[in-house]
Structures are given as C-alpha cells and as structure tokens.
Amino acid sequence: MAQLYYRYSTMNAGKSLELIKVAYNYEERGKRPLLLVPEVDDRYGGGKIVSKAGLEREAIKVPADMNLLELITGKLKEIRDKDPSASIDCVLLDEGQFLKKHHVLELTEVVDGYDIPVMVYGLKNDFRNELFEGSKYLLIYADKIEEIKTICWCGRKATMVARVVDGKFVKSGEQILVGGNEMYVSLCRRHYNDGRLGDEDTRPRPVR
C-alpha cells in the first residue's frame, strides 16, 4: 500500500540531495518519478530542485491555486495514452513547507486513490519557531514522518532555523522570505534561544 511520507529537517540537512537520490534510484530501475516544487521557491529561476552539493533536477512548479490531484490525474492520462501499462511510480515534492492545506489533502487522495507513494521533503518550523501551513498539515495527514538530522555549530542536533539580516539574528518579519545560506542558519534550541550564531559570537549569554 502506498503512503504519504513527510521527511523534514532544518536548513542544510541535505533534503534536496536526498530527493534527487531517490529520483535517481527509481529511474535506475526503470521507474517513473514525478518531481514537483512550490512556485514560491524561485531561488533558481523556478521549476528546479537544486542541492547544495550542486546536483539539480527539473520539476513541475506548483502555484498556490494548483489542484495536485487534477495535475497528477492529467499526467497519468498522458502517460497511459502512450502506454496503457505505464504509470507514475512515485511523486517527489521538495520545499513542502510552502504547500497549502488543500495541496496536502490532494496528495492524500493521490496516495489513497491511485496507490502512488508521495514523498514530501521540507522544513517543519520557521525562523519564529512556528509551523508553516504545509508542515502543519503534513504532520497531521502523513502516514510516515521522518526526521533528517543535521547539527548546530556547537555539535548538538539542530532543531531551529534562525533568520539572519545584515549579520543580525531576527525573530520578526514575514514568514516566507526565500533565501539560502546567507539568510538562514540551523541551530540547536539552546543557541536559538541565546541568539548565538557561532562560536565567534561573544555576546553574553542570558542568565538562566
């Protein structure tokens, strides 16, 4: 039975690289994965999944108002018009935190109605330590939730994402502001709360 997977982490944990590896493994076995990415992630011109390691793949852009069930139904029809025995063997979606609630519900229909596994990769919490809309509903509806671990500068497990503007740690502003290594840093809870961005940060720690 197919399942909806949600694989989450903080920044720089290799989520996109893991997705690209999964796509390659499917294709190596003669299978057909369908790759998707929310349109709001336009860092690379849109319609691309790009890993920090330099690997990239083309992907279908998902606007906020797109119906994913209709998209995948249409893609299945295109494939089966050419080969009635062919199918989509899995759906791989990056930056899942940017999905809307209806997207997540549509993905559950893809899993349950077509028996196609769906694997979504993304962040869980934002720089204010609040859930994104997509991550909230993926946590509710996913059949399997898996953490991809990464570490803070101190060596502890990173669970928080800090936003950095002009070299300063900020905890207010718009939830969605797409950026990379220069704007976001993964931290453990302790250093997120302390506001310490690295070992060279000599600001006094708050009294506990």
Judged by average pLDDT, the poorest of 43-47, 96-100, 185-189, 193-197 is 43-47
Q: What predicted TM-score, i.e. pTM, was given to this entire model?
A: 0.88
Q: Which residues are within 8 A (CB) of 105 and not within 5 positions of it... i.e. 6 or more apart?
A: 137, 141
pLDDT, tens digit, 9 for 90 and up, residues 52-100: 777 889 999 999 999 999 999 999 999 998 888 889 999 999 999 999 9
Beta strands in the chain (DSSP E): 4-9, 33-38, 48-50, 56-58, 60-62, 90-93, 118-123, 144-147, 160-165, 168-170, 184-187
Q: Which of 18, 70, 78, 95 is catalytic?
A: 95
Backbone angles phi, psi at 196, to 5 degrees: -100, 120
Give yes or no: 109 in active site: no
Per-domain residue ranges of the chain: 4-149
DSSP designation for 186: E
Q: What is the CATH architecture of 4-149?
A: 3-Layer(aba) Sandwich (3.40)
